[in-house]
A and B are shown apart, each in its own frame.
Chain A
């Protein structure tokens, strides 16, 4: 199927999906925390755009609310909070040395392929656009995990975590035109609480180990010293 044959809405969704995927890649390779947070905010913004687009074209009003929630939470509140933390901790000049950056990037790329591969069986029963969107969101989820695995900073972990949420949200909007309102509200509430808790935890971790490097949190283990 040629992309030119699709309607404008679908084309737009696919382009946005590509952009969202791109932001995930950008985050994966990003060693500077402030830029990381910025890219994350971008991803949130793309998500908001997608939601608005979907709401408009499907004429689904509650998606507007979702869009607003996304905007407030993912684009404004969380990046703001993280940025404040980073500045407060005086970490904005640090560059995290990423091991095997190329390998990670290549792994990320193969994850994308893998996502398509996994979701292939669904293709018979649904429009291609959904498959593509789902595949992108799955790869965003997986890339988010990869981000957390490859980064040592607690801030990066939060970003990764939130980017996984973004991926899920993207899937929910594109593939299913949004979840039921009550669920969305619940999810948003959870994200909000989680964000607040993250803030609290940064404080605790900092007072406890004087750093936000999660590799230092390794007292509880089963390995013989």
Chain B
């Protein structure tokens, strides 16, 4: 039954993709319906008008878009239902689909871990399907055919769902690559932009390389096992060297997809250029699928984890978290910024997973469960708020035709609802209390603070440092999102477009964002709801759950024991409401102090303009100086001089380019290497037939010599 729900989710998303293909088949559909109506004229008379209406030339695209997204939405709902039901029933359901290789049908397994990620995908897809119809309306059908967009969106979603269901290496890889390829097409959707093409290429390349690493990882496991189903892989007995090799391969593969520094390069290129609701799915959900893969591989398939692996994850995660947010901070492009911030959040998830592994390997399964829980919770939360922010970015782009935050400003008055929703997202991602982002970060800190139980000196000193780095990350994230919200929504409009912007009219687009914003808040106040579910996942996968402190109940969050730490967001909310209410009431009671509006103080010079406001690069200038080594900064100031002796400055041009280190350090050498090799190898093909004959001759001689 539960599995049927899951299958329904997959099939519905697939169906939505296929349905989108009908976009250009209106005439055929029309003919078909005519034929059908003619065959039985009486009984179908009442449908006639409906069909005629929906197939009418102007109506049809709108109708079809709606239908596609409705199917997608149902897919999301089914995914949520399936996830919820498997999480609550705590069953493990297996099945086989007779596709695939003749001796290896597709094995399906639906357990709590998959269920949890189903839930994440389901929520995100539901929100996106509310949002989608309004967003895609603006695409010109000739240049950006909906058929392609809808098809690949459907395939992308079903690919992600299938990854979660896969229970053998082959099926897993097929689903995995389906996900990659479908999203590749989505990245390349607006391919008239060279940047998009480049991003798509890099994306697909990295996906391919990552997938190869994963295949190799499975292969290492499989060479110790009797087959390729996950059950057989689980049973494989690996020496610790081989297990470590498998781990490194899996980490490379899944880490590439998840966007771990330094292999994150594709992510900030690819995520921003896709249509916004797709960016939301890619950044919010697809990265989670990569994390799912890593968890499945390390905790489930290999089973026996080593603390060194945990350390690797911890260190990589720390670098990603810090690097991600620092890079994010420098981006003037909103969607790029959000993409980099995904790198940061994935880094946090990796850190906590690393902690979980360390505790696991050192024989503290309960603490491992805590870390695991924090990681999954953060994955869940990140999916919510990152989706929300990307959808918000989509709305902003839709209304202002701008993505450069230096060109925005003052939108809070022009787009009040959007600004509220976006604010919720910003607060969640900055991990402020009362919002969901805080809960998972709090749990992460709690995990790190359990370091006292460990014996290893390296770990004992490294983990606290990592915790401090986490604190720095959180603070930087707050700074970054203050910049984002402040520059986009506050102050004065910095361009004509943002001056003329107005609130979005499409209810669906707002509803989709609202759903996510509501959940961000809900799970910020009642994290217990989701934590109970994750606890089940930990129980099933690690065989250990958190000690459920019944005395404290749903109101409290006390991961280890009430003595050690506790957090009760509802109480905090009540307290905050009381404090704010009291002060508000107290201050407003005097009628003579009604607020008065006046011009902004301009120091008496007169004429504040929007150009005088802080810009993105101005806001981040102190950070740029402090962390100067992190980026490759190219800063140029050109002055046009005029007047006698050329001493008066007529105009100043400021040029700033901040670049990621990993391009020139890691990727360009590889690219150059391949090109040079190709050049060298190309020399064998001289074009002269006598040389070619010489090769043939030499090969013959050599071979004969070899065998005799």
Interface positions of A (Cβ within 8 A of B): 114, 117-118, 120-121, 142, 145-146, 148-150, 152, 157, 214-215, 217-224
Tell me the complex Cα distance, A183–B694, Å: 29
User: A114-B701, A142-B701, A224-B679 given. 13 additional CB < 8 A pairs?
Assistant: A114-B705, A142-B700, A145-B696, A149-B693, A157-B689, A214-B688, A214-B690, A215-B688, A218-B686, A218-B688, A219-B687, A220-B687, A224-B682
B26 → chain A, closest Cβ, in Å?
48
Interface string of B673-702 (1 = CB under 8 A from A): 000000101111111111001101100110
B245 → A minimal CB distance (Å): 37
Q: Which of B679, B682, B689, B708 is in CB contact (< 8 Å) with A118?
A: B708
Contact indicator B708/A146 (Cβ below 8 Å): no
Query: Would you list 14 pairs from A and B whose C-beta atoms are within 8 A, ordered by A residue?
Result: A114-B705, A118-B708, A145-B693, A145-B697, A145-B700, A146-B697, A149-B693, A214-B690, A218-B686, A218-B687, A219-B687, A221-B686, A223-B682, A223-B683
Compute how far the CA of A217 lies from the CA of B690 in the bound complex, rounded to whole angstroms: 10
Closest CB-CB distance, A207 to chain B, in whole Å? Answer: 19
Which residues of A have CB within 8 Å of B704? 114, 118
Q: Point out the residues of chain B lying under 8 angstroms from A120, CB to CB.
A: 708
Do A152 and B693 contact each other (CB < 8 Å), given the known contacts A118-B704, A222-B685? no
Contacts of A145 in B (CB 8 A): 693, 696-697, 700
Q: In residues 650-685 of chain B, which contact A (Cβ within 8 Å)? A: 679, 681-685
Is A215 a contact partner of B690 (Cβ separation < 8 A)? yes
Measured CB to CB, the residues of B under 8 A from A are: 679, 681-690, 693-694, 696-697, 700-701, 704-705, 708
Secondary structure type dominating chain B contacts: helix
Whether the pair A148, B686 counts as a contact (CB closer than 8 A) is no
Say yes or no: A121 contacts B683, CB within 8 Å.
no
* Residue of A157, A215, A221, A224 most packed against chain B (CB within 10 A): A221
Minimum distance in angstroms from B702 CB to a CB of chain A? 11
Shortest CB distance A18–B (Å): 22
Of the candidates A142, A146, A217, A223, the one whose C-beta lies within 8 Å of that of B689 is: A217
Instruction: Please tell me if the beta carbons of B686 and A121 are within 8 angstroms of each other in the complex.
Output: no
For residue A148, which residue of chain B has the nearest CB?
B693
CB contacts (< 8 Å) of B697 on chain A: these are 142, 145-146, 149
CB nearest neighbor in B for A119: B708
What separation, in Å, do the CA atoms of A197 and B684 have in the docked complex?
28
CB nearest to A224 among chain B residues: B679
Q: Which of A145, A157, A220, A224 has the largest count of B CB atoms less than 10 A from its CB?
A: A145
Q: Taking the nearest CB of chain A, how far is it from the CB of B600, in angstroms?
A: 63
- CB pair A222–B693 under 8 Å, yes or no, is no
A221 to B684 alpha-carbon distance, docked (Å): 9
User: In whole angstroms, how far apart are the Cα atoms of A157 and B704 in the complex?
Assistant: 24
A217 to chain B, nearest CB (A): 6
- 7 smallest beta-carbon distances between A and B, as pairs: A221-B687, A218-B687, A222-B682, A222-B685, A145-B697, A118-B704, A149-B693
**B696 proximity list for chain A (CB < 8 A):** 145
